[in-house]
């Protein structure tokens, strides 16, 4: 199967606000605040796939977060463009972190499929990242939360899109 990607320059803040709007009912249900920050003025990629990636990552963060908590969604440049989702929920141990991107792996075995998902979300996120020349990185600590980064190769990004910083 040949997947054709449609690369455009996406505006991270605009994308973030669209993701927030799409997930607003779920965020409100758990009284979770989604904090958004971007110092990137543009990111080159397939807009629909990047939106899917962000929705999956935020949805997982909401599922892992407790009521009345905060999730951070950010885009910045650190040798390459980075999209980052950080939650302060239950966290994962080393074994879970190593397996969580494997197809059909579910951290909570007791969670029924009717409650959402079949264990493909992070596996798909990893593939979307790879299609964009990016790497999905995850750091997690039990009881402290998880940070997921999508680190793009600088070669895929146009310098004027990835190096310009917005005045904050």
Which residue's structure tokens are 């494997």?
102
| Best CA proximity match to 125, nearest among 59, 64, 76, 57 | 57
**The CATH classification of domain 7-162, taken from the options 3.90.105.10, 3.30.565.10, 3.30.70.600, 3.40.50.300:** 3.30.565.10
* Residue 154, token pair as written in the block: 């600088």
Q: Is the pTM of this model over 0.85?
A: no
pLDDT along the chain (168 residues), means of 10: 79 94 96 96 92 93 92 94 92 63 53 51 84 90 90 64 36
Check residue 96 and give its pLDDT: 63
CA distance 99 to 111: 17
CA distance 159 to 168: 20
| Best CA proximity match to 128, nearest among 21, 56, 27 | 56
Check residue 20 and give its pLDDT: 97
Q: Rounded to the nearest 10 degrees, what angle do helices 121-131 and 47-64 cross at?
A: 150
110-141 residues labelled b (16+ CB within 10 A) or e (exposed): eeeeeeeeeeebbbebbbbbeebbbebebebe
CA distance 168 to 161: 17
Where in the chain are the domains?
7-162
């Amino acid at each position: 199967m040949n997947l054709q990607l449609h690369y455009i320059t996406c505006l991270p803040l605009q994308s973030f606000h669209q993701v927030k709007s799409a997930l607003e009912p779920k965020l409100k249900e758990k009284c979770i605040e989604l904090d958004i920050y971007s110092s990137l003025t543009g990111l080159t990629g397939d807009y629909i796939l990047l939106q899917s990636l962000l929705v999956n990552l935020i949805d997982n963060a909401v599922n892992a977060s407790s009521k009345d908590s905060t999730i951070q969604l950010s885009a910045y440049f650190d040798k390459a463009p980075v999209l980052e989702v950080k939650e302060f929920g239950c966290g994962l141990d080393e074994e879970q972190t190593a397996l969580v991107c494997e197809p059909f792996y579910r951290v909570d075995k007791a969670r029924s499929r009717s409650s959402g998902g079949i264990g493909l979300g992070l596996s798909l996120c990893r593939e979307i990242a790879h299609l964009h020349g990016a790497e999905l990185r995850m750091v997690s600590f039990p009881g402290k939360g998880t940070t997921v980064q999508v680190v793009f190769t600088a070669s895929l990004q146009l310098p004027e899109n990835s190096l310009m910083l917005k005045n904050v």
